[in-house]
Chain A
């Protein structure tokens, strides 16, 4: 009975595929046809590795003292109370004034990274600050921050200050200086930031 055999094969295949897919279980990624084409043999980003156990000398961090191509020289002032005072003397190494493209990029970076607390208008009315969640957010339009030297601002962004964490991992040195320059140019209400934080946040941050 050849017919029956074909029928049986189709049934088993259908059942098999359905079972392999493990449909309905959203906690499992399911299965795949050819695992050697699906899963990388090389280590991908964030995959666990056992290199140290295998005796392979692998350093996940850049070698100390190396500078990324095109990046600014490292910031040497230490994260100490003396360093904080010293930072006032540090000058912005970028050619000033920034071009309009740099300024709009700085504004975009400010809206993503800073406006969430300090507010798009720098008045400490960011969504996290007004929700009474992050306490004691600096109002950048007040005299203390208007008078604050650029170097000190850069120092605080680099190492963090008070409740603010370090943004060294999120902004490169050049980006930090750009943001500092943007804050300095804007905090007096010169070229007010038009985009409110609410709109800048989830939907249009890629604009």
Chain B
């Protein structure tokens, strides 16, 4: 019995010793990052200059050991007395917010974390690049060649068959017909005519229908603006920039001041590399500089020069013919249609292209199948639809459970053409 207790004590003590050995290290490593994010990330980056200097190697740069602790807790008096602090202040122009609550250990944890920081994605491109560049297998050519070879074989066999029959006929003394050259052979001519009819007809119809439509249109824009980075990665709402979509006919193209709301402080791009259509990498920071040029903004002094500012001439992608009326608010606000329904997965597009055909058939199809947000007794839905009393009666009498856009006149000609 006593042995068992001894054994248990041993196990427990070993466990505690291990826990003491492991736990502090682990929690410091975690704390460093958490502390950095809560205290420093507003103005510092671990590995690059930002509002303030990078934190990597801060303890190697400090004039004397322990200087950094004093600085973090009381930078305002340090700037007036300490020469190195004065120099920093001159270089960066602003004084750091004091953090008197941070202990030496916590500051060390932050700096330890910054020293061991590795930019995410630094190692990734080598591995990722290979996967991207793997050639896409396209079998169209292979199938085409195969068809051609089979056709030639079939022709040769036909010829052989013909020659053999002729020889057989000759040996049996049956007088053969006069040979017809293949270009006057009626069977060949018919086959050729049918194939030509099918191909020409296909291109004729496709071409005639496609004229005036521009699905897939992806114009080059004055700035490489990635919707993927803004709406996807950074989760900016579509309506942040295109607020007009809920208020009126047009989904506004944002003016430069809306860009500058964030780009006043977001001066460089740190995300995944972006690529042009031809595979070359986008210099995203140069694109941000282009924005500053349009805004007349000087990123070093953070001032605007109104005289050199000019609007960005974005190229409109979705063009409806003049004889069609389309209103964004009616769809976005009243119909509660998500942007992606018509514009595709914009949050995944670097360069936006037209997703929908924007043909009349496409519009009408949606009007036929989409239910309007009919109001109910609980006050949900659009109260405007209260005026459709008969439909409400019918829904109550279980005649139907929903009302499509078509039923309230959504496919009338004059709804969109007038």
Contact = CB atoms under 8 A, between A and B. Distances in A.
A, B co-complexed: yes
Interface of A: 7, 10-11, 13-18, 20-21, 23, 26-33, 37-41, 45-46, 48, 111-113, 116-117, 127-128, 130-137, 163-167, 169-170, 197-198, 200-207
A204 B313 CA distance: 29
27 contacts: A10-B200, A18-B203, A18-B206, A20-B207, A21-B211, A23-B210, A30-B211, A30-B213, A37-B323, A45-B250, A112-B237, A112-B240, A112-B243, A116-B235, A116-B240, A128-B234, A131-B234, A134-B265, A135-B43, A136-B51, A163-B265, A165-B262, A169-B255, A201-B231, A202-B236, A204-B338, A206-B339
Contacts of A130: 37
A167 B255 CA distance: 12
Contact of B332 (A16, A136, A206): A206
Nearest to A32: B212
B235 A127 contact: yes
A201 B340 CA distance: 13
Size band of the interface chain B makes with A: 35 or more
Contacts of A135: 41-43, 50-51, 265
Contacts, number: 165
Given A165-B261, A202-B238, 18 more contacts: A10-B200, A18-B207, A26-B218, A27-B220, A29-B219, A30-B213, A31-B212, A112-B239, A127-B235, A131-B234, A132-B41, A135-B50, A136-B43, A169-B258, A197-B235, A200-B237, A201-B237, A206-B338
B255 A29 contact: no
Interface string B186-222: 0000000000110111011011101111101111100
A117 B234 CA distance: 10
B399 interface: no
B42 A26 contact: no
Given A17-B208, A18-B207, A202 B321 contact: no
B199 to A, nearest CB: 8
Interface in B319-342: 319, 321-323, 332, 336-340
Contacts of B43: 135-136
A31 B211 contact: yes
A26 B353 contact: yes
Nearest to A167: B261
B234 A14 contact: no
A28 B319 CA distance: 12
B367 interface: no
Contacts of B220: 27
A23 to B, nearest CB: 7
A30 B240 contact: no
Contacts of B260: 165
A46 B242 CA distance: 14
Interface in B35-70: 37, 41-43, 45, 50-51
B150 interface: no
Contacts of A29: 214, 217, 219, 319
A128 B234 CA distance: 6
B219 A134 contact: no
A41 to B, nearest CB: 8
A194 to B, nearest CB: 16
